[in-house]
Amino acid sequence: MTDLPETTERKLGLVIDLDICVGCHACVTACKGWNTENYGAPLADDDAYGEEPVGAFLNRVHSFEVTPESGPAQLVHFPRSCLHCDDAPCVTVCPTGASWKRAEDGIVLVNEDECIGCGLCAWACPYGAREMDPSAQVMKKCTLCVDRIDNENLDPIDREPACVRTCPTGARHFGDLGDPESAVSQLVEERGGMDLMPEQGTKPVNKYLPPRPKDEEIDVLAPLLAPVADEPRGFLGWLDKALERMG
C-alpha cells in the first residue's frame, strides 16, 4: 500500500550532531555489519577486492569544508541516511507497494519480497538514501534497525539502531521526534535542529544539529593578561639595552 498514512502515532528518527561527528565512519561499518547479518537480503559488495568495488550501504559520511563569511574554514563531517520523511516521495511512486511507511512509528521500509527492482523510489528520494543491492537486485534502505528496536530478546541498551549504539562520540541520537517531551525533541529545540532540503517538501523526521559557532575572542580574561609594560624594565631592561649596545 503506497498511500502515505495521514499521521503516524510516533515519529521515530535520528538526530545527528554535526558539531560532534568526527567522520570516523564507525556508524557506516556498524550499519553494514548489522544489516548484512540480520533482516533481509545481505548488503552485498561487487568486486569487493578488485579494481572497481561497489556495494550497497545504508549510511554514508561526507566531509564538507565550510568557510564562513569571516574566520577560518571548518571541516564538517556529514552522515547521510534515510530521513524517514513524513511526506515520503519514495513511497508514493512505488508501483508494487513494496515501499511503505509504518503507521505506528513512521519508519519507511521496503518489503523485499514485493520489490521488482525498478529503482523509481531511489530516483524519487532527494537525499540519495536508497541503494539497489548489487546481487539481490532489490532496493535497500535504512530501517532504523527495526530488527533491533522491535527485538525484545535484546538488552534494553541494545534496542537502538546499530549506528547510534556504536558511535564513539555520541553524535547520533535516536528517539520519538513526534513527542515534544522526548529527549531528542528537546535536543532539537535547544540546538536549533534543522531539516535537509526543506524546499523539497518531504518533511524529514531526522534532524541535524548545526555546528556550534566557534569562539571569536579567546576569553573574557584575556584583557587581564595584556602586557603591563611596553618598555622592558629591571634586569630585562638592562639586558635589552646591553644587547642593543653590542650592536
Partner 1 sequence: MKPAASLLAFTTLSGLGLGLLVFLSLGLPPVSGWGAFAFFAISFLLAGGGLSISALHLGRPERALKAFREWRTSWLSREAWASVTALGLTGLYALPLLFDGPRLWPIGILAAAACIATVMCTGSIYAALRAVPRWHHWSTPAMFVAYAVTGGALLAGQVTMAMALLAATGIAQFLAWRTGDARVARRFGTRNTATGLHGHVRLFERPHTGENYVTEEMVFVVARKHATKLRSIALVLAFALPLVLLALPFSHLLGVAAVLSHAAGVVVARWLFFAEAEHVVGLYYGR
**Does residue 2 belong to the site contacting partner 1 (CB under 8 A)?**
yes
**Does residue 22 belong to the site contacting partner 1 (CB under 8 A)?**
no
Q: Which of residues 134-153 bind ligand SF4 (CB under 6 A)?
A: 139, 141
What cell does 136 get?
539481490
Pick the stretch among 19-27, 37-45, 48-56, 227-235 that binds ligand SF4 (CB under 6 A).
19-27
Identified binder of partner 1 from the candidate list 148, 162, 163, 208, rule CB under 8 A: 208
**Does residue 127 belong to the site contacting ligand SF4 (CB under 6 A)?**
yes
3-state secondary structure of 159: coil
Nearer to ligand SF4, 56 or 167 (CB): 167
Phi, psi torsion values for 228, nearest 5 degrees: -80, -30
Phi, psi torsion values for 56, nearest 5 degrees: -90, 130
**Does residue 43 belong to the site contacting ligand SF4 (CB under 6 A)?**
no
| Beta carbons within 10 angstroms of residue 161's beta carbon | 26
Query: What sign results for the dihedral spanned by CA atoms 174, 20, 55, 199?
Result: positive
Torsion, Cα 94 97 98 101, to 10 degrees, reads 90
Identified binder of partner 1 from the candidate list 31, 109, 138, 184, rule CB under 8 A: 138
Classify residue 194 by its DSSP letter: B
By CB under 6 A, name the binding residues for ligand SF4.
21-27, 61, 77, 79, 82-85, 88-90, 93-94, 96, 98-99, 108, 110, 115-121, 125, 127, 129-130, 139, 141, 167, 169, 171-172, 202
